[in-house]
């Protein structure tokens, strides 16, 4: 007991001494947000969202967001608020947040991650909605391992698994949830779930972008890879292996992480241009968009990646893998059926030779589709529709 008391006093003294030195870090690292939409004037249901708390910390009106999730989370909260929930938000993998909300009883648990899983175990009578911002974990793990093995086969370098298993694990699906909302393919859940819903992520839009005719005779030779960490998972290594042995087509790379750049070591050739980080709101991004007809992402597993939705909002034609998370794009994308280099080499030749007039029509169709489905207004209305359907099903279940 004496040791506990001393430790507590020492901790408090250190905290009061140093806390102001970490003020901005304290704000940015808020693990729990509680009582959103709470009112004492009427009965309310309680919901908890296991996702990210950053939506309620930063000033999104005065900075470049760089991601779509924060604004989507605000829309999720808006929908639940309109349904008369008081809402808590916790970081999806921060188990230290669980004791803070341990005394509460929840009617709805929404989200993903280890925190979501633990909350559903603790509140078995609550309605639970798992929100899939990735492909099914079994698919993602299997396909990423294939890509890592193929990379080693070609380059004798070991890449590590960086995308799969961080937020979704196979054992999470050992239990049944009230509903599944997925941004990826629906097929892995069809046998288990009737309450299964698909939703598109939003995309980022450069506010100065204006869709107009493009010189596709030239632009059809230009492909943009827009990504982040996990370049082998996202197929950049495959593109590099094709473009490094060609001169007639040009690859633009944006968002390559330092770790991936050290691993892949892109050749310094005229037809391989590494732009580094590209701010979507920048003139530089619009210049790249103007040069390219296509945005290529031969990723092994996605949930209709926001790099693709962002490219499509700017009229870029997506070139993506079949069954990897983009199937709902249907005729608004070019689908690759294999990831082997010989196949990709031939397909990219065919794609780069599509007539310019056809590409102008294709690009406009892609842009119109994206402007309808990859915007916050649609996201929010779709989620509201889904939630109303789930609640109605629960009422009569």
Average pLDDT on 136-144 reads 95
Cα separations (Å) of 306 from 78, 323, 343, 375? 21, 17, 26, 11
Kindly tell me the burial class for residue 374, based on how many C-beta atoms sit within 10 Å of its own C-beta (0-12, 13-18, 19 or more).
buried
The residues facing 111 across adjacent strands are: 50, 130
Strand 85-91 versus strand 32-36 pairing type = antiparallel
Pair of tokens at residue 23 = 């003020």
**Bigger pLDDT: 392 vs 284:** 284
Distance of CA 286 to the CA centre of its chain: 22
Cα separations (Å) of 200 from 173, 203, 374? 22, 9, 6
Per-residue pLDDT band for 263 (boundaries 50, 70, 90) equals very high
Q: Which of 181, 197, 94 is nearest to 134 (CA)?
A: 181
The residues facing 46 across adjacent strands are: 86
Average pLDDT on 95-118 reads 96
C-beta separation of 71 from 202 below 8 A: yes
Distance of CA 203 to the CA centre of its chain: 10
**pLDDT in the model for residue 166:** 86
Per-residue pLDDT band for 119 (boundaries 50, 70, 90) equals very high
Can you give the pTM of this predicted structure? 0.92
For the chain, domains (ranges, CATH) are: 31-138+147-156+159-202+377-395 (3.40.50.2300), 216-374 (3.40.50.2000)
The model's pLDDT over 176-186, given as tens digits with 9 standing for 90+, comes to 999 999 999 99
**pLDDT in the model for residue 61:** 66
Q: What is the rounded distance in angstroms from the CA atom of residue 202 to the CA atom of residue 373?
A: 8
Please, what is the average pLDDT of the chain? 92
**pLDDT in the model for residue 165:** 77
Pair of tokens at residue 355 = 């007539």
Confidence check: pLDDT of 158 > 80: yes
The enclosing H or E element of 23 equals: helix 23-28
The model's pLDDT over 11-37, given as tens digits with 9 standing for 90+, comes to 777 767 767 776 666 566 678 999 999
Average pLDDT on 304-329 reads 97
* DSSP output for 44-74: -EEEEEEE-SGGGTS-GGGS----SHHHHHH
The model's pLDDT over 186-238, given as tens digits with 9 standing for 90+, comes to 999 999 999 999 999 999 999 999 999 999 999 999 999 999 889 999 999 99
Confidence check: pLDDT of 60 > 80: no
**pLDDT in the model for residue 25:** 61
Confidence check: pLDDT of 1 > 60: no
**pLDDT in the model for residue 66:** 67
Q: What is the rounded distance in angstroms from the CA atom of residue 269 to the CA atom of residue 291?
A: 17
């Amino acid at each position: 007991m004496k040791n506990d008391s001393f430790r507590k006093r020492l901790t408090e003294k250190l905290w009061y001494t140093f806390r102001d030195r970490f003020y901005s870090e304290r704000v940015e690292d808020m693990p729990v947000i509680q009582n959103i939409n709470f009112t004492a004037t009427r009965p309310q249901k309680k919901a908890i969202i296991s996702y990210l708390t950053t939506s309620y910390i930063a000033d999104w009106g005065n900075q470049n967001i760089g991601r779509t999730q924060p604004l989507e989370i605000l829309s999720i909260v808006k929908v639940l608020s309109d349904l008369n929930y008081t809402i808590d938000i916790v970081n999806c993998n921060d188990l230290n947040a669980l004791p803070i909300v341990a005394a509460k009883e929840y009617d709805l648990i929404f989200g993903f991650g280890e925190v979501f899983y633990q909350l559903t175990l603790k509140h078995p009578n609550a309605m639970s909605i798992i929100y899939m911002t990735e492909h099914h974990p079994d698919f993602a793990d299997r396909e990423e391992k294939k890509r890592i093995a193929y990379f080693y086969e070609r380059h004798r370098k070991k890449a590590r698994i960086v995308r799969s298993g961080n937020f979704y694990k196979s054992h999470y699906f050992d239990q049944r949830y009230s509903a599944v909302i997925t941004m990826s393919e629906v097929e892995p859940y069809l046998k288990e779930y009737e309450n299964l819903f698909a939703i598109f992520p939003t995309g980022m839009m450069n506010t100065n972008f204006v869709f107009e005719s493009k010189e596709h005779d030239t632009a059809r030779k230009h492909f943009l890879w827009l990504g982040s960490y996990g370049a082998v998972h996202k197929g950049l290594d495959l593109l590099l292996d094709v473009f490094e042995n060609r001169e007639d087509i040009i690859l633009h790379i944006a968002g390559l992480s330092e770790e991936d750049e050290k691993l892949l070591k892109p050749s310094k050739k005229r037809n391989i241009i590494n732009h580094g980080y590209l701010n979507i709101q920048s003139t530089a991004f619009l210049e790249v968009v103007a040069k390219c007809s296509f945005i290529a992402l031969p990723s092994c597993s996605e949930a209709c990646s926001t790099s693709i939705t962002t490219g499509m909002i700017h009229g870029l034609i997506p070139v993506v893998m079949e069954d990897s998370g983009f199937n709902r794009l249907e005729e608004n994308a070019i689908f690759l059926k294999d990831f082997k280099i010989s196949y990709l080499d031939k397909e990219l030749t065919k794609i780069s030779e599509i007539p310019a007039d056809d590409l102008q029509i294709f690009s406009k169709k892609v842009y119109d589709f994206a402007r309808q489905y990859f915007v916050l207004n649609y996201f929010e209305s779709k989620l509201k529709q889904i939630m109303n359907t789930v609640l109605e099903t629960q009422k009569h279940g």
